[in-house]
Structure 1
Amino acid sequence: MTPDEQRELLLAQTADAAAEFHGVISLLCAALVHRWQIKALPTRPQITVGRNQRVDRDRAANVQIRRLDLPPRDVERGAVTSIERTVLDCTRSLSFDEGLCVADSALRSGMSKQRLLDLAAGAKGPGSRRIRWVAHHASPLAANPFESVLRALALSVGLRVQPQVRLGGDYYLGRPDLVDIELRIILEADSFESHGTPAALRRDASRYNEFVINGWLVLRFTWEQVMFQPEQVRRILLGAITERRTNRGAGGGSAA
């Protein structure tokens, strides 16, 4: 089954569960309804039911149910949490990297950065600090969850990375996936789809050589490393930070 087929099957199962248990599609399943990109599909349908809603535990064994009385403004079409409620729920309850994927995708889909910051500022209760952290770092410039997760890993070790920064003055070098201007470190999320042809190989070789001779440290990561080997990625990033600070110093960048 293809990833698209898996997603559509999960959405169908979630809609059925919401109808059966008189609930509302929520969390990552709601993000999928809103056509946002996420790090990974949840293993079960996710719905929210009222606190006093009776649910047969045996029939709901394969459904993730959250009990919460949602106000009408937080529900769209009577079936799914609203865009704003969904981004708040996901950034509150998920890990930083998963939440950042959702927030980045929400911004790519049209939510303004200021609206996200306003929602985060008004958040209360457990997880509010995480919401504000994600909102602060969220960006529509991340192309996909691969880049979002890599950015989350970089931020977690202290790098101050920004997506799609223009490098070079009069002589344009490029716009790498992620850049720490202070330490002059470039991070690239390299997928085979984008970099697996002879033409792409020639382009990448020329591009990365230009970065290096202009004083940038270029680190390239595969999808498998970022998604499934985060500790290895963190180790490499920490090593890069040490190398730049102890051996080369933190020279000023030529970003513009």
Structure 2
Amino acid sequence: MTQGVAVSVAQRVVEAGGFATRAALVAASSRAEVDRAVRAGEVVADGRGRYVTPATGDAVRAAHRLGGVLCLTSAALHHGWEVKLAPDEPHVAVPRNRKVSESRRAGVALHWLTLDRAEVTDGIVTSEETTLRHCLTRLPRDEALAVADSALRHGVPPSTLRRAVASAHGPGAKQARWVADHADADAANPFESCLREIAHDVPGLRVRAQVRLRGSRATARPDLVDVDLGIVLEADSFEWHGGRGQLARDARRYNLLVVDGWLVLRFAWEDVMVDRAYVRDVLAAAVGLVQRRATSHACRCGAA
């Protein structure tokens, strides 16, 4: 990654799910760093009290230029839902019979879709239900889960999610049902959603989001917990490590969880978003470690 203050601020926007408030960015860096990033064009204000990537900021203008509407993750961001990765090019849908020249579609991820009037909101973006159906059926599973979690977290009724899945047909319908079954409004952010999606494929591991643990020394609410195995998963992002004070509090919390008997695993944003094979291997090894310890303990007790 290119080094520099502006890139650092832009990366924080990416890690937050595609947008972040000024207060969050300043808390994680400084007012001067955020202002320099804005001047450099690395992040832009979208008029709703938040900062986004340039591609997200240009999305509505691109849709208007092509006479289309925002769809997929561009639509999700427009609705205020965080996503795994903000698209480098805005996703724009146009009618199936629309001819768009190569030069006009430059810088846009163009989709030819048939949309009813009821499937479009404000004339510029697919409706919440349609956006969910498209994302759950067309995106990779981890990205789809991140969108579904975000939608529920931001107040979209579960009934809207159920209708989106009920109207899904074709190859993506099975995945849409899986995502709807596993979507969780308690998920804190897309980083955590993607970590949970990986964990779902690890045999023997059953994690839940934001479980409150009352230990002998402290109460904690880790990102993901398998209560039966005693495993805690933490998604360590900039939002929770903006300074030394927060880092010290987190270190103390992790230590207290360990001495209370929990196996604590910490994953960086890059691990979860880029190297899922590594994350899965670590999780599988952790499950094996806990199971071997349980077997060894049972054998010792039986021998006694």
Change (3 A) 1:77 1:166: same
In 2, the alpha carbon distance for the partners of 1:33 and 1:136 equals: 24
The answer to whether structure 1 residue 79 and structure 2 residue 130 are counterparts is no
Q: 2:280 aligns with which of 227, 234, 239?
A: 234
How far apart are 1:173 and its partner, in Å? 3.1
Query: Contact 1:117/1:136 (CA < 8 Å) preserved in 2?
Result: no
Query: Contact 1:168/1:174 (CA < 8 Å) preserved in 2?
Result: yes
Q: 1:168 aligns with which of 205, 208, 214?
A: 214
3-state SS in 1 of match to 2:229 = coil
How far apart are 1:192 and its partner, in Å? 4.5
In 2, the alpha carbon distance for the partners of 1:14 and 1:193 equals: 25
Query: Contact 1:173/1:210 (CA < 8 Å) preserved in 2?
Result: no
Counterpart AA for 1:139: D
Change (3 A) 1:216 1:32: same
How far apart are 1:76 and its partner, in Å? 0.6
3-state SS in 1 of match to 2:219 = coil
Aligned residues: percent identity?
45
Match of 1:91 in 2: 136
The answer to whether structure 1 residue 16 and structure 2 residue 61 are counterparts is yes
3-state SS in 1 of match to 2:214 = coil
Counterpart AA for 2:148: A
In 2, the alpha carbon distance for the partners of 1:242 and 1:49 equals: 50
Match of 2:70 in 1: 25
In 1, the alpha carbon distance for the partners of 2:133 and 2:81 equals: 14
Change (3 A) 1:16 1:201: closer
Query: Contact 2:199/2:207 (CA < 8 Å) preserved in 1?
Result: yes
How far apart are 1:95 and its partner, in Å? 1.0
Query: Contact 2:132/2:164 (CA < 8 Å) preserved in 1?
Result: no
Q: 2:266 aligns with which of 220, 224, 230?
A: 220
Aligned Cα root-mean-square deviation (Å): 2.3
In 1, the alpha carbon distance for the partners of 2:243 and 2:54 equals: 33
Q: 2:102 aligns with which of 27, 36, 57?
A: 57
How far apart are 1:181 and its partner, in Å? 1.8
Question: Mean Cα displacement is larger for which, 208-217 or 125-134?
Answer: 208-217
Match of 2:27 in 1: none
3-state SS in 1 of match to 2:225 = strand
Give the alignment of 1:1-256 within 5 angstroms: 2=10, 3=13, 5=43, 7=52, 9-158=54-203, 159-168=205-214, 173-195=219-241, 197-248=243-294
How far apart are 1:202 and its partner, in Å? 4.0
In 2, the alpha carbon distance for the partners of 1:41 and 1:202 equals: 31
Query: Structure 2 regions of 5+ residues with no counterpart?
Result: 1-5, 14-18, 20-42, 45-51, 298-304
Query: Contact 1:225/1:232 (CA < 8 Å) preserved in 2?
Result: yes
In 1, the alpha carbon distance for the partners of 2:105 and 2:251 equals: 53
In 2, the alpha carbon distance for the partners of 1:188 and 1:11 equals: 28
3-state SS in 2 of match to 1:221 = strand
Structure 1 residues 104-155: Cα deviation after superposition (integer angstroms, max 9, x where no partner): 1111111123432343244222201111111111112111111111111211
Structure 1 residues 208-252: Cα deviation after superposition (integer angstroms, max 9, x where no partner): 233223332111112222222222211111111111222225x9x
Change (3 A) 1:80 1:208: same
Change (3 A) 1:57 1:201: closer
Corresponding residue pairs, total: 250
Question: What is the TM-score normalised by the length of structure 1?
Answer: 0.87
Question: Mean Cα displacement is larger for which, 28-37 or 55-64?
Answer: 55-64
3-state SS in 2 of match to 1:58 = helix
Counterpart AA for 1:163: A
3-state SS in 2 of match to 1:233 = helix
In 2, the alpha carbon distance for the partners of 1:57 and 1:205 equals: 53
Match of 1:254 in 2: none
